[in-house]
Structure 1
Amino acid sequence: MNRLSRTDLIVAAAMLTLAWGCKRQTGNPGGNPAPDGRNHGHEHGQAPAGVTELEPVSVTLFTPKVELFMEYPRLVVGETATFITHLTVLATGEPVRSGRLTLTAAATDGSRVEAGVPGPKRDGLFTPELKFGRAGTYKSRIAIASPQIDESIELELVVYPDLHEAQHAAERESQEEPADTVPFLMEQQWKLAMRLAQAEKRTLVERLQIPGQIEAPSGHSALAGAPVAGRLVRSADAPWPKIGDRVEAGQVLALVEPALPATEAAQLSANLAQFQALEVELLLRGTEVEKTLAQAKTRLGFAQRAFDRAMELKQKGVGTDQQFDEAEQGFELAKIEFGAAEQMKTQYELARQRIVELRSQAFGGDPAPQANLQLPVRAPIDGQIVSIVHIEGEHVDAHQEIFRIVNLEHVWVVGQISEFDLHRLPGEPTANMTVASEPERHHDLLAAGGRLVHVGTVIDPQSRTVPVRYEVPNRDGRLRAGLFVDLFLETRRSLDAVAIPQECIVLESGQPIAFVCLEGELFQKRELELGVRDAGWVEVKCGLEAGERLAARGAYAIHLASQSPSTFGHGHAH
């Protein structure tokens, strides 16, 4: 979980150095003790006779941008109080190093007191001072304007009429110190740029990690081979293909020129001559057919007009029956002749189409084949050329691979799951994936538009595993065939779980623990019962409540401090 890495050793060394420095800066022995018994060396003033020296008040507040840890003495009318104000940038764990801080307090009657300091006494530490003229509860506001942050924090301040009332209030509010606390000064936190995380409700998915690989889907990888043995030549219509070229199904990539024996070459030439003779004859016949059809169409038109005229004369009583019968007979013969001419043209078109088909079968569709036959090598699928095995002019055998084409617009993510883990899978498990170049980035396969293709039903006798396949879009082309991946399959889901980042957890004698921030400089060790782990988050079944803040970066340093609290939590003087 948290191994003792080189970074941890550096942190430990830094902590020891800082602890020694703090030990040398121990505060005034007469200073007021903090609630946890730590001596911070803050000068809060001496109590009068008969009044027990009061513990200072400590306040820890968080906004989305900043952590406020402030200590101040019990506020009494007429007494000047110094507010020891620590400000930390939550996003970076760094102290606020510059800027103006203003502390304003407003009483219920509308009166106000205000104090401002132009900058920190030292990094992260501001010390405004206020004196109050009347007792009561004050609505207060701390405003910090800095290049690092610009933030306001609201809080309440209680002012007592005298020290005796302040002492009674302190006695009423006194509480026993929680168990397993670890003091850890703000200066130590800033030196480590320590960051806090917050326990929150999340839906976590437990995942089974298995090895996987990217593959081209079935039907998305193909070879373009030689149809016959012969010499490779480029197509007259395109240059020789290159690796990386995108091609379409049916596209001519190259030509194969078979080396024919003399008898076959002679036969090929004879066949070619025969086809050419047939084509010439068809061309001549086509001319005759077109001429005959035109003549028949002209005669039909003439006969139509003659028939119409004879009918008109007969109706007027001018023409004779013989003239009408002759015109009608001529019209009928012209129609028969025109129909025969159209039928002749139809037969001609069919014969021409048949010749084209035979020529395509014999010469690969080349419109002008040479005596040396050239057969096309076509792309079987859309995709990209990823390898070219032979070069132009090289002799190849029949069906030998020339081009390899892959279409990776979609890819398969194929994992191998052990037969012993099959029972853990739900019916259709969701899946995340990481690649070696980005181990911290998890790709949700289904959310990216992918789908579960198949969970294998046959166990491999050698590896004792079953393949599980997902298909995912590969729009940017970053997933390459053969790429090794880690596949994380959903096994169970925990809804509304209290979850914390993985880096918050430290192992102590094999027991997972975390350090909860009770106040700015005081942490409490909690033993945890863990559950589902998901993408850097861990479910906490017992030991934490949602909303609690705990150490994330720097948690191991607090663990070291817990082993020697007198050293790491020593007081410091402001």
Structure 2
Amino acid sequence: MSTKFLKPLLLLIALGVFHSQPVLSGGGHPHDGSNHEDEKNHGAETPANVVTQYNNYTELFVEFPPLVVNQAATFVTHFTRLNNFKAVTEGTLDVILSRNRKVVARFRVKKPARKGIFLPDVVPNKTGIFELALELKTDSWTSRHNLGSITVFNNLDEAYIENKSSDAEVSYLKEQQWENPFAISKSQFVKLRTSVPGFGTVTAPLNQYTIIRAPDDGYFSSGKIISAGESVNINDELGSLIPRLGEDTDIGELIVDLERAKSRFELAKADVKRLKQLFNKGSVSEKLYMEAQKELNIAVVELKTTQSRLRQRSGGVESVGINIEAPIKGEVLSVHVHPGSFVREGDPMFSLAAKEMRWLKVQVPEKFGEKIHTTSGVWLKHNNRTLVLDKQSQALIVNTSREVNPLTRTVEVAIAYPSEKGPSLIGARLPVYLYIGEPKLSLAIPVSAIIDDNGQSVVYVQTNGESFERRVVTLGIRDNNTIEITSGIEPNEWVVSKGAYYVKLASTGGDSIGHGHAH
């Protein structure tokens, strides 16, 4: 980090030959406008102390020569905000020497020399061992770094480095980190959940989705045009259907049809009520309950159609129509008719769904079928975001299949969730990962830290503020944006979690990422 100058070069410096050049201090950084003669005379000849430390607010990276009594030592101090990994651009910095919890000396600079870099000169007037701290104060926060013991020596001959720099293979300067996308994360043990791949289809919950079909052949009539996206309440009128009646239609037959339709409606309504209670208790399957609900919907349409046809025939008014009403509260998803259009019996006219909830029906390969009953949710990519649907996002497992679909060779899990928590487009099909089993305590880092380097999974570990080490790692469980590392790093190491590719470029000596200062 520091630069050793040859004796002839020192003589030239002493004579002022390079007087107009920026002074190099603390590892060879040029700092415009500084003139630290003592630091030039001895600090640049001696390797620097190098310390990197983190607290809740900042990362401190500081380089300084051994401290010698009554000699100035420039602390080349880099401060990075940990909330955005950008340079600190304001604040007052104190370098504090203390002993027995009492401040012995304090050295202050009131602003950075340039973005992110403070250059306090420390001139101790006593020898011995002191506690060293750096304290940065701004108008809104204070960041203190306690660096432990430091020695103030009698002379340069007996001085030595107490905090040595690492011999990492990659140098990536602070100015580069501040200007390019960059972040670091600490490797730590967290609970991860195993997941298996599958595909999920977005649907509406039971009783909250319907397709309104034409009850008879006829012409659709409406006083207004219904559009997709409109909100409707239950029993809202969407229009009417003017059926075509043949001349040979017998009124007696219509009366019999009406009584038959009433009877079928009452039976279907009672059946749905009974099966709903059993379904809520888990005594009957979802399929059986849905079939009963479908029969009720058909019975409602048949009853209304028969009533309308009877009124039309008995009154002789050809303009009497069958009211088309919304059977549920929600929004219009699709419209297949417009005023004046002719439809055949059974043709779709509208599709409606409730807005509040969605279901995700997940199909996974049959080889995972024995494990799906342990699921706690899913994670998926949607609109360039990673989403987790589990209890924390108010999602609920509503059904797990106990049989393999013979056509797709998959098993199914249904998950209910609030529409705003996940994908809401009904019918959308998405790749998902279904959580199975209990969480496992694992050493993990962000997935974004992993680089595929010629088929190897690689991360870059920060060993000092501007030094990094390339590590080949072995991957384990992936849970959302976090991945288990089974070998290659240790707990509490800092890995580059954003901008790792820029560090890789720096390791190859590329010039495209720019340099802030010379080393």
What is the TM-score when the length of structure 1 is the normalising length?
0.64
Are 2:398 and 1:412 aligned?
no
Identify if the C-alpha distance between structure 1 residues 380 and 508 changes in structure 2 by more than 3 Å, giving closer, same or farther.
Answer: closer
* Aligned-partner SS, 1:557: helix
Task: For 1:26 and 1:165, locate their aligned partners in 2 and report how far apart those are by CA, in whole Å.
Answer: 18
Identify if the C-alpha distance between structure 1 residues 549 and 233 changes in structure 2 by more than 3 Å, giving closer, same or farther.
Answer: closer
Identify if the C-alpha distance between structure 1 residues 185 and 404 changes in structure 2 by more than 3 Å, giving closer, same or farther.
Answer: closer
| Displacement of 1:368 | 13
Identify if the C-alpha distance between structure 1 residues 104 and 413 changes in structure 2 by more than 3 Å, giving closer, same or farther.
Answer: same
Are 2:182 and 1:186 aligned?
no
* Aligned-partner SS, 1:78: coil
Cα contact 1:432–1:443 (8 A) shared by 2: yes
Are 2:240 and 1:248 aligned?
no
Task: For 1:362 and 1:526, locate their aligned partners in 2 and report how far apart those are by CA, in whole Å.
Answer: 78
Cα contact 1:431–1:444 (8 A) shared by 2: yes
Q: Map of 1:326-345 to 2, 5 A cutoff?
A: none
* Aligned-partner SS, 2:315: coil
Of 400, 404, 413 in structure 2, the residue corresponding to residue 454 of structure 1 is 400
* Aligned-partner SS, 1:558: helix
Of 106, 128, 150 in structure 2, the residue corresponding to residue 136 of structure 1 is 128
Cα contact 1:227–1:377 (8 A) shared by 2: no
The residue aligned with 2:284 is none
The residue aligned with 1:311 is none
| Displacement of 1:542 | 2.2
Greater fraction helix = 1
The residue aligned with 1:381 is 327
Cα contact 1:516–1:551 (8 A) shared by 2: yes
Cα contact 1:529–1:541 (8 A) shared by 2: yes
The residue aligned with 2:466 is 521
Task: For 1:363 and 1:189, locate their aligned partners in 2 and report how far apart those are by CA, in whole Å.
Answer: 75
* Aligned-partner SS, 1:69: strand
| Displacement of 1:429 | 1.6
1:51-93 residue CA offsets vs partner (Å, 9 max, x unmatched): xx65322221112221111122221222222212121222333
Cα contact 1:27–1:571 (8 A) shared by 2: no
Q: Map of 1:483-502 to 2, 5 A cutoff?
A: 483-491=428-436, 494-502=439-447
Task: For 1:196 and 1:211, locate their aligned partners in 2 and report how far apart those are by CA, in whole Å.
Answer: 33
The residue aligned with 1:507 is 452
| Displacement of 1:110 | 4.4
Of 147, 152, 155 in structure 1, the residue corresponding to residue 147 of structure 2 is 155
1:281-322 residue CA offsets vs partner (Å, 9 max, x unmatched): xxxxxxxxxxxxxxxxxxxxxxxxxxxxxxxxxxxxxxxxxx
Cα contact 2:51–2:163 (8 A) shared by 1: no
2:171 aligned partner, one-letter code: P
Are 2:66 and 1:78 aligned?
no
Cα contact 1:501–1:537 (8 A) shared by 2: yes
Q: Single out whichever of 501-510 and 68-77 deviates more from structure 2.
A: 501-510
Identify if the C-alpha distance between structure 1 residues 505 and 401 changes in structure 2 by more than 3 Å, giving closer, same or farther.
Answer: closer
Task: For 2:403 and 2:436, locate their aligned partners in 1 and report how far apart those are by CA, in whole Å.
Answer: 18
Are 2:375 and 1:429 aligned?
yes
Are 2:11 and 1:65 aligned?
no
Task: For 1:108 and 1:382, locate their aligned partners in 2 and report how far apart those are by CA, in whole Å.
Answer: 76
Identify if the C-alpha distance between structure 1 residues 46 and 480 changes in structure 2 by more than 3 Å, giving closer, same or farther.
Answer: closer
Of 215, 221, 235 in structure 1, the residue corresponding to residue 203 of structure 2 is 215
Task: For 1:242 and 1:160, locate their aligned partners in 2 and report how far apart those are by CA, in whole Å.
Answer: 81
1:158 aligned partner, one-letter code: I
* Aligned-partner SS, 2:194: strand
1:104 aligned partner, one-letter code: I
* Aligned-partner SS, 2:56: coil
Cα contact 2:74–2:120 (8 A) shared by 1: yes
* Aligned-partner SS, 2:114: coil
| Displacement of 1:442 | 0.8
1:89 aligned partner, one-letter code: R
1:337-386 residue CA offsets vs partner (Å, 9 max, x unmatched): xxxxxxxxxxxxxxxxxxxxxxx986679799733274634547314444
Identify if the C-alpha distance between structure 1 residues 223 and 84 changes in structure 2 by more than 3 Å, giving closer, same or farther.
Answer: closer
Cα contact 1:183–1:569 (8 A) shared by 2: no
2:315 aligned partner, one-letter code: Q
* Aligned-partner SS, 2:193: strand
| Displacement of 1:488 | 1.3
Task: For 2:518 and 2:348, locate their aligned partners in 1 and report how far apart those are by CA, in whole Å.
Answer: 81
| Displacement of 1:547 | 2.0
Task: For 1:514 and 1:392, locate their aligned partners in 2 and report how far apart those are by CA, in whole Å.
Answer: 63
- Tell me the number of residue pairs that the alignment of Structure 1 and Structure 2 aligns: 441
| Displacement of 1:489 | 0.7
What is the TM-score when the length of structure 2 is the normalising length?
0.70
Are 2:496 and 1:551 aligned?
yes
The residue aligned with 1:91 is 83
Identify if the C-alpha distance between structure 1 residues 410 and 397 changes in structure 2 by more than 3 Å, giving closer, same or farther.
Answer: same
Task: For 2:100 and 2:66, locate their aligned partners in 1 and report how far apart those are by CA, in whole Å.
Answer: 19
Task: For 1:225 and 1:569, locate their aligned partners in 2 and report how far apart those are by CA, in whole Å.
Answer: 65
| Displacement of 1:264 | 5.7
The residue aligned with 1:5 is none
Bigger Rg over Cα: 1
The residue aligned with 2:417 is 472
* Aligned-partner SS, 1:152: strand
The residue aligned with 1:55 is 47
Task: For 2:51 and 2:322, locate their aligned partners in 1 and report how far apart those are by CA, in whole Å.
Answer: 84
| Displacement of 1:514 | 2.1
Identify if the C-alpha distance between structure 1 residues 489 and 113 changes in structure 2 by more than 3 Å, giving closer, same or farther.
Answer: same
1:190 aligned partner, one-letter code: W
| Displacement of 1:500 | 0.9
Cα contact 2:369–2:411 (8 A) shared by 1: no
Task: For 2:404 and 2:246, locate their aligned partners in 1 and report how far apart those are by CA, in whole Å.
Answer: 49
Identify if the C-alpha distance between structure 1 residues 231 and 165 changes in structure 2 by more than 3 Å, giving closer, same or farther.
Answer: closer
| Displacement of 1:451 | 1.6
Q: Map of 1:245-324 to 2, 5 A cutoff?
A: 245-248=231-234, 253-254=239-240, 256=242, 258-261=244-247
| Displacement of 1:561 | 3.6
Q: Single out whichever of 531-540 and 487-496 deviates more from structure 2.
A: 487-496
Task: For 1:178 and 1:136, locate their aligned partners in 2 and report how far apart those are by CA, in whole Å.
Answer: 26
1:488-518 residue CA offsets vs partner (Å, 9 max, x unmatched): 1124555331211122223344332322222
Identify if the C-alpha distance between structure 1 residues 26 and 372 changes in structure 2 by more than 3 Å, giving closer, same or farther.
Answer: same
2:104 aligned partner, one-letter code: R
1:186-221 residue CA offsets vs partner (Å, 9 max, x unmatched): 333334353221112211123223232212345444
Identify if the C-alpha distance between structure 1 residues 547 and 410 changes in structure 2 by more than 3 Å, giving closer, same or farther.
Answer: same
* Aligned-partner SS, 1:95: coil
* Superposed structure 1 runs of 4+ greater than 6 Å apart: 360-369, 475-478, 567-571
Task: For 2:243 and 2:204, locate their aligned partners in 1 and report how far apart those are by CA, in whole Å.
Answer: 32
1:140-191 residue CA offsets vs partner (Å, 9 max, x unmatched): 4323244796423333453335237844x65xx688x867543333333334
1:197 aligned partner, one-letter code: S
Identify if the C-alpha distance between structure 1 residues 368 and 241 changes in structure 2 by more than 3 Å, giving closer, same or farther.
Answer: farther
The residue aligned with 2:98 is 106
1:536 aligned partner, one-letter code: N
Identify if the C-alpha distance between structure 1 residues 230 and 60 changes in structure 2 by more than 3 Å, giving closer, same or farther.
Answer: closer
| Displacement of 1:532 | 0.9
Higher relative contact order structure (alpha carbons within 8 Å, sequence separation ≥ 6): 1
The residue aligned with 1:322 is none
CA RMSD of aligned residues (A): 4.5
* Aligned-partner SS, 1:427: helix
Task: For 1:163 and 1:570, locate their aligned partners in 2 and report how far apart those are by CA, in whole Å.
Answer: 35
| Displacement of 1:230 | 4.7
Task: For 2:420 and 2:90, locate their aligned partners in 1 and report how far apart those are by CA, in whole Å.
Answer: 48
The residue aligned with 2:188 is 200
| Displacement of 1:259 | 3.5
